[in-house]
Amino acid sequence: DGGITQSPKYLFRKEGQNVTLSCEQNLNHDAMYWYRQDPGQGLRLIYYSQIVNDFQKGDIAEGYSVSREKKESFPLTVTSAQKNPTAFYLCASSAALTLGSPLHFGNGTRLTVT
Amino acid sequence: QKEVEQNSGPLSVPEGAIASLNCTYSDRGSQSFFWYRQYSGKSPELIMFIYSNGDKEDGRFTAQLNKASQYVSLLIRDSQPSDSATYLCAVRDSNYQLIWGAGTKLIIKP
């Protein structure tokens, strides 16, 4: 079955450490996204990529970095520069950045930094 | 600043009744509109999307779009306790960016 796999489901880190969240898709989608969701709030875009080796900052990119070396993979690194990294992180993909393409989401990674 | 507004709720609806969820948007050039359901602690899942003015039906769900008034709504007929979730409205604006509402929490009471 095609889908988006995020790992791990839960991640715990000490403050000051960088951490990388994995996102893999086998939907053959061109576009991939990273969102952050805080309790009781909507989705905020961190980064997105429309094509391999290219990505753009979203609304809250500071303290995060990404890479897109393969079409299937779009890992997110939460760096120590991110002030409030504890959140629910969602990876998504879509067929293309067109008006009609819905986003499909992975199951999310819940990151806790203490 | 382009915005998508939803009443945060909670919206409480008796089982078997019609639940009506509303969403307004600020960018008049927006072209496509999406409704997602999100259970607590889970990721959003697509319910349906709509591009044209009017109604679009899929099973118990109906999306309604009124571009002149800049609102989109989701009706859930014969509401079930399993419909209890947060419903997110997303609008793809004229720059192809997806703008998200904060969601409406729906509670279906048995």
pLDDT tens for each residue of A48-73: 999 999 999 999 999 999 999 999 99
Query: Considering CB atoms only, which of B32, B98, B102 is closest to A41?
Result: B102
- Say what the pLDDT of residue A99 is: 65
Residues of B in contact with A102 (CB under 8 A): 34, 46, 49
Sorting pLDDT into bands at 50, 70 and 90, what band is B55?
Answer: very high
Q: How far apart are the first and last CA of chain A?
A: 36
User: pLDDT digits over B2-48, tens only?
Assistant: 899 999 999 999 999 999 999 999 999 998 999 999 999 999 999 99
The verdict on A100 touching B (C-beta cutoff 8 Å) is yes
Residues of B in contact with A7 (CB under 8 A): none
The verdict on A36 touching B (C-beta cutoff 8 Å) is no
pLDDT reading at A41 higher than 90: no
Please give the radius of gyration of chain A, using alpha carbons only, rounded to the nearest integer. Answer: 13
With an 8 Å Cβ cutoff, are B44 and A98 in contact? no
Cα-based angle A20, A24, A29 (whole degrees, multiple of 5): 130
- Say what the pLDDT of residue B110 is: 92
pLDDT reading at A101 higher than 90: no
Return d(Cα A69, Cα A72) in angstroms, integer: 9
Return d(Cα A5, Cα A73) in angstroms, integer: 10
pLDDT reading at A1 higher than 70: no
pLDDT reading at A97 higher than 70: no
- Say what the pLDDT of residue B97 is: 84
Query: Considering CB atoms only, which of B51, B88, B103 is closest to A100?
Result: B51
Q: What is the DSSP string of A38-99?
A: -TT--EEEEEEEEETTEEEE-TT-TTEEE--SBTTB--EEE-TT-S---EEEEEEEESSSST
Please give the share of chain B, as a percent, with pLDDT higher than 70: 100
Question: Which of B96, B82, B71 has its CA nearest to residue B37?
Answer: B82
